[in-house]
Amino acid sequence: MLAQNKNKITGETSVIMSYDGKLLADIIKNVHRHLRKELRKTGDTNSVWTNHCRNVALLETYASSMHQLASKHWEQLRVNNPATSRINWTWSFLLYYFFNGGLEIQRQKSGSNTDWPKLMLKESKISVLDVGSCYNPFGEFEELDVLSIDLCPALESVYQCDFLQVAIGKKIAIDGSRVTCLATNHFHCIVFSFLLEYFPASSQRWTCCEKAQKLLAEEGLLIIITPDSKAAHSNSKVMKSWREALAAIGLKRIKYEKLQHAHCMAFRKISVHSEITCEEREILASKMYIPQDFHCPSDSETEDKDDIKFSEAELAEGFTHLPMLTD
């Protein structure tokens, strides 16, 4: 579990992750490293992902480790310091946007004469698609109607679904514990919380965002949360590049906040009047990069063999399992 140490000089209390928590983080971190290494070796995005999805034992180990890390360690940190929680941030912004005037403010800011239709909420609930959910953390909020999906769910409340490959149609289709089709223009919110860094290629991240744009109702929100323990300006170029790419498909960033260990962003779906070409799509996909995409083979070998040093605060948050936005 988590231990607390009190600084005798400042009186501040810090939370330090147990040895068990660090082992869980290492399991997850190594899966991500392996994916990046395999892509650098083969250059074949599809085969790397297909082979990964077929490795059921690895996926189950990953899911179990993530569930334990999140429910035992991150949840305690969330209780101790709610302001650092990506879950709380997302829930609070959804309430503001849909129930407390945020949507109306964005309509006024648009400066257009668009006669916006009323955004209908089913039974006054916000329809949320939580992608890469693992353990359905948003299920506790009564204001949300959540469909949680994951490549390999840790709990029965989460449906199995490969978001990269799932079909898109007029209706949601569920076969037992699997989601086989998602509906266009359906969801009020789609959440990518620590999702995009999982994928070893920028093209896969772009595919996820394009698919989210199609699944969102107009004026719906795409929430993207990505880990970073550095100062906000340290990776401003990465965040700017993502913002520019998503704006091209009608996902306008309306909220950005840097928490202690993460960038939190909300993108609002607006109308797009022109189709993008294949060439434009390739350029836009390249903008969804993370610094690890440019590591040379010698970098990856060092990364795999050497211990990467992080502060105890970062270890406590469990972020070392993800590819940080670090050069």
pLDDT single digits (tens) 21-43? 788 888 888 998 899 999 999 99
pLDDT digits (tens, 9 = 90+) for 187-197: 999 999 999 99
pLDDT digits (tens, 9 = 90+) for 215-242: 999 999 999 999 876 766 777 899 999 9
Q: Which CATH class is domain 85-292?
A: alpha beta
Domain boundaries, the chain: 2-80+300-316, 85-292
299 annotated to a ligand binding site? no
**Owner of token pair 């949360």:** 225
Spatial CB neighbours of 93, under 8 Å, sequence gap ≥ 6:
102, 221, 223, 255, 264, 266
132 annotated to a ligand binding site? yes
What six digits make up the tokens of 199? 């994928």
How much is the mean pLDDT over the chain?
83
pLDDT digits (tens, 9 = 90+) for 137-183: 999 999 999 999 999 999 999 999 999 999 999 999 999 999 999 99
- The conformational region for residue 268 under phi > 0 = left, psi -120 to 50 = alpha, else beta, is beta
